[in-house]
């Protein structure tokens, strides 16, 4: 019994999957756009076909139902195109309110396909239009599983009953006919779920991007960039030769415990100001609570080392407020030309390893 209930639960979830409301609205918009496109394609195709009959094969128009069915499909498709285009471009209504337009158009075009294919069937010709119409609609229009099951199975069943009532559907292979119906339905269900999954993935990415954009990229204490800003600055370092410097303040936690937060903030401001004044303002970062990252770009190594030497002499003049002791730190550097973010991360790690070697 537990197994049956489990399979039943899976079936219900498959036929009625939970989709976030914002993603549903995206599906409705995509469906409306697809309906507009397929309606436009049908309008043009049927108009050209009717024009061909009028100019080159007028006798076929005297056959019962050919001219009315062509006009019917053109009018239905043209009206659907206008409504869906209006919904996409100028309407203030939510896309959800147009969901019945897609279902109605599906139903009307399938009816057209049945009529034309039955017309061909009674004359011994291939029933191409019904199958072509249903496959085109399934490829363009996204239908929820329950709706698609009713429409697709219903269309195949009704059409078969029409043929059966005419001559017992003598020329129809029922097995192949059912296979076509199953494949059409499975294709519709999978397309819907794949598209919903893709929109859900896009929704998660956009949500994460919004969260990242709201993360502050400047440090309030030192007025320097923080490590989150490094992500936005990567393009300026990519394929450029850079010197990466990592600096850590020694026993900084002990200073906070003994002298308090105000003194530690004063130390951080001194160090940050010294870095911005002597090395770089736009490419320096407070990388952690007591660590700094400096990137010198498009500079010869000898020039960078000279600049770092001047900076170290100025750092030696800094002192801890109140007790007037020098600020101790360790630093290390690396250099290279990063081609991607992983290579930049490797340069930062190399500079940090060199820093630790001096500890």
d(CA 193, CA 143): 10
pLDDT at 17: 66
pLDDT at 210: 67
CA 144, 132, 23 angle in degrees (round to 5)? 25
End-to-end C-alpha distance for the chain, whole angstroms? 67
pLDDT at 164: 93
pLDDT at 110: 93
Per-residue pLDDT of the chain (359 residues; tens, 9 = 90+): 447 777 777 777 666 666 767 677 878 888 889 999 999 999 999 999 888 888 887 777 777 677 888 899 999 999 999 999 998 887 678 888 888 898 999 999 999 999 989 988 988 888 888 998 898 888 888 888 888 888 999 999 999 999 999 999 988 999 999 999 999 988 888 888 888 778 778 777 777 776 666 567 788 899 899 888 888 888 889 889 999 999 999 888 888 888 888 999 999 999 999 999 999 988 999 998 899 999 998 888 888 889 999 999 999 999 888 788 888 999 999 999 998 888 999 999 999 988 876 55
Helix axes 66-89, 99-122, angle to 10 degrees: 160
272 close to 222: Cβ distance less than 8 angstroms: yes
d(CA 19, CA 157): 30
Choose among 332, 340, 346, 254: nearest CA to 294.
332
pLDDT at 357: 66
pLDDT at 214: 56
294 close to 245: Cβ distance less than 8 angstroms: yes
Q: How many CB atoms lie within 10 A of CB 232?
A: 12
d(CA 19, CA 213): 26
pLDDT at 82: 94
105 close to 80: Cβ distance less than 8 angstroms: yes
Residue 119 CB burial class (10 angstroms; 0-12, 13-18, ≥19) = middle
């Amino acid at each position: 019994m537990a197994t049956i209930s489990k399979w039943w639960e899976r079936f219900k979830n498959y036929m009625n999957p939970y989709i976030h409301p914002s993603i549903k609205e995206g599906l409705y918009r995509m469906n409306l756009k697809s309906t507009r496109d397929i309606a436009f394609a049908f309008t043009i195709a049927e108009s050209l076909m009717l024009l061909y009959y009028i100019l080159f094969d007028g006798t076929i128009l005297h056959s019962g139902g050919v001219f009315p069915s062509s006009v019917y499909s053109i009018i239905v498709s043209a009206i659907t195109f206008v409504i869906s285009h209006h919904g996409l471009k100028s309407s203030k209504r939510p896309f959800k309110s147009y969901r019945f337009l897609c279902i109605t158009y599906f139903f009307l075009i399938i009816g057209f396909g049945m009529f034309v294919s039955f017309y061909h069937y009674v004359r011994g010709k291939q029933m191409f239009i019904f199958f072509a119409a249903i496959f085109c609609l399934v490829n363009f229009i996204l239908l929820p599983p329950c709706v698609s099951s009713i429409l697709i199975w219903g269309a195949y069943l009704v059409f078969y009953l029409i043929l059966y009532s005419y001559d017992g559907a003598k020329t129809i292979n029922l097995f192949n006919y059912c296979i076509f119906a199953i494949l059409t339905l499975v294709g519709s269900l999978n397309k819907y779920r794949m598209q919903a999954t893709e929109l859900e993935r896009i929704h998660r990415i956009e949500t994460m991007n919004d969260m990242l954009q709201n993360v502050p990229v400047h440090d309030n204490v030192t007025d320097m960039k923080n490590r989150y800003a490094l992500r936005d600055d990567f393009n300026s370092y990519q394929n450029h030769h850079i010197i990466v410097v990592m600096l850590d303040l020694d026993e900084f936690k002990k200073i906070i415990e003994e002298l308090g937060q105000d003194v530690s903030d004063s130390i951080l401001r001194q160090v940050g100001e010294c870095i911005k004044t002597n090395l770089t303002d736009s490419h320096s970062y407070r990388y952690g609570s007591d660590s700094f990252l400096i990137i010198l770009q498009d500079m010869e190594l000898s020039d960078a080392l000279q600049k770092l030497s001047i900076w170290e002499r100025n750092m030696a003049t800094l002192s801890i407020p109140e007790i007037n002791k020098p600020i101790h730190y360790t630093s290390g550097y690396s250099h290279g030309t990063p081609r991607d973010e992983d290579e930049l991360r490797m340069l930062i790690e190399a500079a940090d390893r060199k820093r630790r070697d001096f500890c």
